[in-house]
Chain A
């Protein structure tokens, strides 16, 4: 049906979009959104390969990744709340105290 390369290209494009977001977003939550996109792209990749080769391993791996990403978002948001409490803002530029 659809060749593997096509799906992989789509996931690569999604990953690139995530990279753009990570590099250019100032807001911490915006940053988190971009990271989500990247994780998503990885998952698509895994599933695509799993579909190509058959077997269940790829999807299991993808499940793991989903669980991990969820945990990461939870902790990340907790940190962002702390950041907000400390600086009353969630721009990543704000917390520059540990500069050289």
Chain B
């Protein structure tokens, strides 16, 4: 039963991912990305990471996709948001992708530990505590980074006064 569920999630994930990178319509591409992000969230839930799944949906699917759609709309050229993949690069790109997959699969297959999962269910409380104790420094740094990113984005994209 679990394998069946996993298979469906995986299929959705990979299928939507493929469409995201090869769709001719930019908006479609972004929307296919949204679906793959949701599938990822499902996968997280499957792997006993429910808090993360929730965060994934809120931040990624909610925030990132919205941003991207804004970007698409703001940089629209005419009414057609059609894009294609660079024709002179498709074959080499495919080769590169396959090579990457091959390498990583080999590495992961050889190195990955077999055996049963620990199966521990991680709660939000645990994650919160970890943020504020073990990983406090990283947490604070991250907040500074977000501030910097925010300011940076505003500065970069503002209109200069004439």
Q: Which residues of A contact B (CB under 8 A)?
A: 1-10, 12-21, 23-27, 29-30, 32-34, 36-37, 40, 43-44, 47-48, 50-57, 59-60, 62-64, 66-75, 77-82, 84, 88-90
Across the interface, do B150 and A40 meet the contact criterion of CB distance under 8 Å? Answer: no
A77 to B71, CA, bound (A): 6
Total residues of chain B contacting the partner, CB 8 A: 84
18 example contacts (A-B, Cβ-Cβ < 8 A) are as follows A4-B114, A9-B108, A9-B109, A16-B98, A17-B18, A19-B93, A23-B92, A24-B93, A24-B94, A25-B86, A37-B17, A51-B118, A51-B119, A67-B59, A71-B150, A75-B152, A79-B156, A79-B157
Q: Determine if A55 and B120 form an interchain contact, defined as CB atoms under 8 angstroms apart.
A: yes
Check if A74 sits within 8 Å of B101, measured CB to CB.
no
Residues of B within 8 A of A88 (CB): 77
Contacting pair B52 A51 (CB below 8 A): no
CB-based contact A40/B71 at 8 Å? no
B117 touches A82 (CB 8 A): no
Q: Are A5 and B109 in contact (CB under 8 A)?
A: yes
B72 at the interface (CB under 8 A from A): yes
